[in-house]
């Protein structure tokens, strides 16, 4: 006999509960009715802020339950529960009977009792409807004809408050965060981490006031004034309350169910209330008196209830109540795990604080420094995935060595099987190994059978490592949407003559694509000369910098880098660059690649700047693209008494030949006129050094995080042979390298390494050199300047505005001060010099 389950709430946890139940209910024991208050399908509330950045409701959707045994009723409010007769009443007067009732009502925003909080222009930050209202208010404010900076006050400096501040900045408002605690994110980070976090946030033109509260809000001439407890008044067009949440437990209270001292429906470790027919999960549930505001514990509760409804014996464990978090807020990495605040008796904090590099790391260890208890990471959270699973385990190395610059690497083998590799879904290393042993042979399969990696995704690199450790050859699939590698995808696009991403994914992929495959396909299409990168559909595929043909800087402005082949420039060219920088108020700097970089351009200024430069004969230097950047040169035999060949002439020839060539990663080159190597050619992807009889060609060098000298490929070749070999080297790299793989790692990963590369492009061992030669010739013949392409197209020019609803309005969040006679981003806080807590 089918039983009736009613789920009140259709958020992330309610959705997960229904999915988990239907996955396991092979006997069709339950018919499920879901009552959701919002008139929308369940969506990813963790990614709420991406809605402001352009993500659609469909992209945030968690999917629908396409199941005859699941009846989802959106826009349906529940007004009462009759526990005696097991009935649920809706606002429309409908009555539903249940055999089991699950409360997944989530939480409601906490709005402090501030006088004026009900005024127009005051909002909470919780749902898509809230964001729609905030967006409308921000646009209305920006459209006002009165002069002045448009601003927002965000009440709350926790996770949601900083997310709200970022959203306000994205909408064109100047945000001011007010936090009553003495630091930002007081729940997740400690004093030292909070100090650095504040400095990093303020560098992005977001003002922060900690240790004060909003005492009142008043209306003033069409705007709002937030009156702070220290007497300061802040003008605002929008006030957003994001000061925390409270469990939505009103239904439970009215039904006579017990609630916790601080709210939340009291449940036991089975997530069941005192009423054996009523359960509670997620933010509305108080497990042993405590509520949990993260999605991971909510998902664990959903799994427990699904198991219990089908006769299982699952219970919540302490590991499943892990409050560890890893976030990227305003571009700043923040992570905390375990006992982050060192509350355990005898706990010892070990701290490395580097305010110059903008990083803070703290490990909390036991009194004998043998066991990891917790930690905080700010600025660089790359070690979170390796450290968090070690909480409660013996330290594999000295704690300082685990977080210091150049820290020891922690492999998957250092983790015990009981360690959680995915805290969002409470998946242990042992569970992953079991899944691999049962046949899960790639990340997609592990996601499907364990749910690891399906939430925040931070554990995916560890999943790949575990696959390799267990002897599984990891798939080279580009992403879940394309089952082939980047090199194979290149051949598909080239061979089939495909010109758009939609055509490619329809014929050779699945789904809608992602931020991995879209830029890769954009690069491939550009490499094959399939149109301007901002033409039609291609514009939506580009990374941030390519989208505006300029490099975004930390304050939201852009840098403009015209091409200066070989570093050679005429006096007239220098004058034009100087005039452009002067007229647009730009900061200028000569780069290490012998070019002149102009910083501080607003997005709406870019076309006007390009027009001046293009008219003077300049073109895009592709400083923003995964493409050839520069060919650096010394003055060579033209001027230098040691020079053996014309290094400048060759550098100019090569840079003009390969300009605009899109590739898996950026490419840099150098040409030195003699062995003294003034152009530092051996630190480049391909470098050339003159000899008495010709040129030596070196390949596979790079600077950066892991510097590497290039290796000699051929020696004493003439110019014609040299250019032909560079042609082949670059086209072979473009066709066969993985995404974001520099030439150095490409050669190192190549079977046979440099010898194989030499056999392919010098000896034509694969018989493809004629094809590589033809491909490069086609690139050279089809090159067109991307800046000029935008200037000649009115549709493309429409993209270059700060605000689509007010095209002529400059971004009010951008401000400068003068240092050494040049404009630089206005600092918002003095540089940190240290914190009281010092690690040993």
What percentage of the chain's residues is helix, strand, coil (to nearest 5)?
A: 35, 25, 45
The strand ranges marked E within 473-572 are 551-552, 558-560
Angstrom distance (rounded) from CA 96 to CA 431 = 39
**Residue ranges, the chain, pLDDT below 70:** 147-148, 319-320, 322, 328-331, 406-414, 423-424, 455-458, 461, 474-475, 544, 554, 704-706, 802-809, 811-813, 827-840
Q: Which fold has domain 3-107+247-318?
A: FAD/NAD(P)-binding domain (3.50.50)
- N- to C-terminal Cα distance for the chain? 65
Burial class (CB within 10 angstroms; exposed 0-12, middle 13-18, buried 19+) of 139: middle
Angstrom distance (rounded) from CA 54 to CA 371 = 44
pLDDT the model gives residue 445:
82
pLDDT the model gives residue 413:
67
Cβ atoms of 54 and 135 within 8 Å: the answer is: no
Cβ atoms of 299 and 420 within 8 Å: the answer is: no
What residues contact 653, with CB distance under 8 A and at least 6 apart?
723
Query: Is 441 flagged in the annotation as binding?
Result: no
CA of residue 25 relative to chain centroid, distance: 37
What residues contact 459, with CB distance under 8 A and at least 6 apart?
385, 421, 422, 423, 424, 427, 452, 453
SS3 532: coil
Q: What are phi and psi of 808, to 5 degrees?
A: -90, 0
Structural domain 627-784, CATH architecture: 2-Layer Sandwich (3.30)
SS3 676: coil
pLDDT the model gives residue 831:
35
| Residue reference for tokens 């055999």 | 99
Domain 550-620+788-802: CATH superfamily is Sulfite Reductase Hemoprotein;Domain 2 (3.90.480.10)
Angstrom distance (rounded) from CA 673 to CA 681 = 10
Angstrom distance (rounded) from CA 483 to CA 684 = 32
* Residue 129, token pair as written in the block: 């409807």
Please name which of 600, 548, 521 lies closest in space to residue 818, comparing C-alpha atoms. Answer: 600
Cβ atoms of 505 and 480 within 8 Å: the answer is: no
Domain 122-243: CATH superfamily is FAD/NAD(P)-binding domain (3.50.50.60)
List Cα–Cα distances, 157 to 153, 166, 403, 557, 813, in angstroms: 11, 12, 27, 25, 19
Please name which of 379, 134, 107, 412 lies closest in space to residue 264, comparing C-alpha atoms. Answer: 107
Cβ atoms of 647 and 635 within 8 Å: the answer is: yes
Read off the DSSP letter of residue 479.
Answer: B
On the CB side of 366, CA atoms within 13 Å amount to 10
Same fold, 3-107+247-318 and 122-243: yes
Cβ atoms of 7 and 17 within 8 Å: the answer is: yes
List Cα–Cα distances, 285 to 69, 74, 99, 298, 396, in angstroms: 26, 22, 20, 9, 37
| HEC string for 117-136 | CCCCCEEECCCHHHHHHHHH
Query: Is 459 flagged in the annotation as binding?
Result: no
Q: What are phi and psi of 663, to 5 degrees?
A: -150, 170
Cβ atoms of 10 and 33 within 8 Å: the answer is: no
Angstrom distance (rounded) from CA 285 to CA 273 = 9
Cβ atoms of 664 and 612 within 8 Å: the answer is: no
Structural domain 411-475, CATH architecture: Orthogonal Bundle (1.10)
Domain ranges in the chain are: 3-107+247-318, 122-243, 411-475, 486-542, 550-620+788-802, 627-784
How many other CB atoms sit within 10 Å of the CB of residue 675? Answer: 11
The structure's pTM equals 0.58
Q: What are phi and psi of 203, to 5 degrees?
A: -65, -15
SS3 707: coil
pLDDT the model gives residue 835:
33
Query: Is 769 flagged in the annotation as binding?
Result: no
Angstrom distance (rounded) from CA 523 to CA 310 = 50
* Residue 780, token pair as written in the block: 């050279």
Query: Is 678 flagged in the annotation as binding?
Result: yes
Read off the DSSP letter of residue 11.
Answer: S
Largest CA distance in the chain: 100
Q: Which residues pair with 364 in a beta bridge?
A: 349, 374
CA of residue 436 relative to chain centroid, distance: 28
SS3 313: coil
| Residue reference for tokens 């990227």 | 328
pLDDT the model gives residue 391:
86
How many other CB atoms sit within 10 Å of the CB of residue 552? Answer: 16
List Cα–Cα distances, 44 to 158, 177, 426, in angstroms: 19, 25, 19
């Amino acid at each position: 006999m089918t039983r009736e389950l009613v789920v009140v709430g259709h958020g992330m946890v309610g959705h997960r509960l229904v999915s988990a139940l239907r996955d396991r209910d092979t006997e069709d024991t339950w018919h499920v009715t879901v009552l959701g208050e919002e008139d929308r399908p369940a969506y990813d509330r963790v990614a709420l802020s991406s809605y402001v950045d352009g993500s659609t409701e469909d992209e945030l959707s968690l999917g629908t339950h396409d199941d005859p045994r699941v009846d989802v009723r959106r826009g349906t409010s529940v007004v009462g529960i009759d526990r005696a007769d097991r009935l649920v009443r809706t606002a429309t007067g409908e009555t539903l009977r249940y055999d089991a009732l699950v409360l997944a009502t989530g939480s409601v925003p906490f709005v402090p009792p501030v006088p004026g909080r009900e005024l127009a222009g005051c909002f909470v930050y919780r749902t898509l409807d809230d964001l729609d209202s905030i967006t409308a208010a921000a646009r209305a404010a920006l459209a006002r004809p009165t002069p002045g900076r448009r601003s927002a006050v965000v009440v709350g400096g926790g996770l949601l408050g900083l997310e709200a501040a970022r959203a306000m900045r994205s909408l064109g408002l100047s945000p001011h965060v007010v936090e009553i605690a003495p630091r930002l994110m007081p729940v997740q980070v400690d004093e030292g981490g909070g100090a650095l976090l504040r400095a990093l946030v303020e560098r992005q033109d977001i003002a922060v006031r900690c240790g004060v509260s909003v005492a009142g809000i008043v209306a003033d001439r069409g705007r709002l004034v937030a009156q702070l407890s220290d007497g300061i008044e802040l003008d605002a067009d929008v006030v957003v309350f994001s000061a925390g949440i409270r469990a939505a437990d009103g239904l439970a209270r009215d039904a006579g169910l017990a609630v916790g001292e601080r709210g939340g429906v009291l449940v036991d470790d089975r997530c069941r209330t005192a009423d054996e027919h009523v359960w509670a999960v997620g933010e509305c549930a108080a497990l042993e008196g405590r509520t949990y505001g993260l999605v991971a514990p909510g998902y664990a509760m959903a799994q427990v209830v699904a198991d219990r409804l089908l006769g299982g014996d699952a219970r919540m464990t302490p590991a499943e109540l892990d409050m560890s978090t890893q976030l990227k807020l305003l571009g700043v990495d923040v992570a905390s795990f375990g006992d982050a605040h060192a509350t355990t008796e005898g706990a010892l904090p070990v701290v490395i604080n580097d305010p110059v590099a903008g990083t803070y790391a703290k490990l909390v260890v036991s009194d004998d420094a043998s066991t990891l208890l917790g930690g905080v990471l700010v600025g660089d959270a790359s070690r979170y995935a390796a450290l968090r699973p070690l909480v409660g385990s013996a330290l594999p190395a000295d704690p300082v060595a685990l977080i210091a610059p150049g820290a020891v690497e922690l492999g998957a083998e250092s983790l015990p099987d009981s360690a959680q590799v995915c805290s969002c879904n409470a998946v242990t290393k042992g569970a992953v190994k079991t899944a691999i042993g049962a046949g899960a042979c790639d990340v997609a399969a592990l996601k499907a059978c364990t749910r690891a990696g399906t939430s925040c995704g931070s554990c995916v690199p560890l999943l790949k490592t575990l696959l390799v450790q267990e002897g599984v050859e990891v798939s080279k699939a580009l992403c879940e949407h394309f089952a082939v590698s980047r090199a194979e995808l290149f051949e598909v696009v080239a061979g089939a003559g495909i010109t758009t991403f939609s055509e490619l994914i329809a014929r050779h992929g699945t789904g809608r694509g992602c931020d991995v495959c879209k830029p890769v396909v954009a690069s491939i299409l550009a490499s094959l000369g399939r149109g301007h990168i901002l033409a039609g559909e291609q514009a939506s595929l580009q990374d941030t910098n390519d989208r505006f043909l300029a490099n975004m800087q930390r304050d939201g402005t852009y840098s403009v880098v015209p091409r200066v082949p070989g570093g050679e420039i005429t006096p007239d060219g220098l004058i034009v660059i100087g005039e452009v920088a002067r007229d647009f108020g730009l900061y200028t700097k000569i780069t290490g690649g012998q070019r002149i970089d102009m910083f501080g351009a607003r997005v709406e200024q870019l076309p006007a700047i390009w027009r001046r430069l293009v008219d003077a004969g300049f073109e895009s230097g592709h400083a923003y693209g995964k493409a050839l950047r520069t060919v650096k040169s010394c003055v060579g035999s033209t001027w230098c008494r040691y020079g053996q060949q014309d290094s400048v002439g060759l550098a100019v020839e090569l840079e003009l030949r390969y300009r605009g060539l899109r590739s898996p990663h950026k490419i840099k080159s150098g040409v030195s006129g003699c062995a003294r190597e003034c152009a530092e050619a051996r630190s480049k992807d391909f470098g050339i050094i003159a000899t008495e009889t010709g040129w030596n060609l070196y390949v596979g060098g790079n600077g950066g995080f892991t510097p590497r000298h290039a290796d000699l490929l051929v020696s004493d070749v003439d110019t014609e042979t040299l250019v032909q070999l560079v042609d082949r080297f670059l086209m072979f790299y473009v066709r066969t390298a993985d995404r974001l793989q520099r030439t150095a790692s490409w050669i190192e990963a190549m079977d046979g390494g440099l010898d194989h590369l030499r056999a392919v492009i010098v000896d034509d061992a694969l018989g493809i050199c004629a094809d590589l030669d033809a491909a490069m010739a086609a690139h050279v013949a089809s090159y067109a300047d991307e800046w000029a392409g935008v200037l000649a197209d009115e549709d493309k020019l429409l993209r270059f505005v700060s605000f689509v609803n007010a095209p002529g309005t400059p971004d009010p969040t951008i401000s400068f001060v003068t240092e050494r006679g040049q404009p630089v981003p206005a600092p918002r806080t003095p540089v940190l010099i240290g914190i009281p807590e010092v690690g040993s």
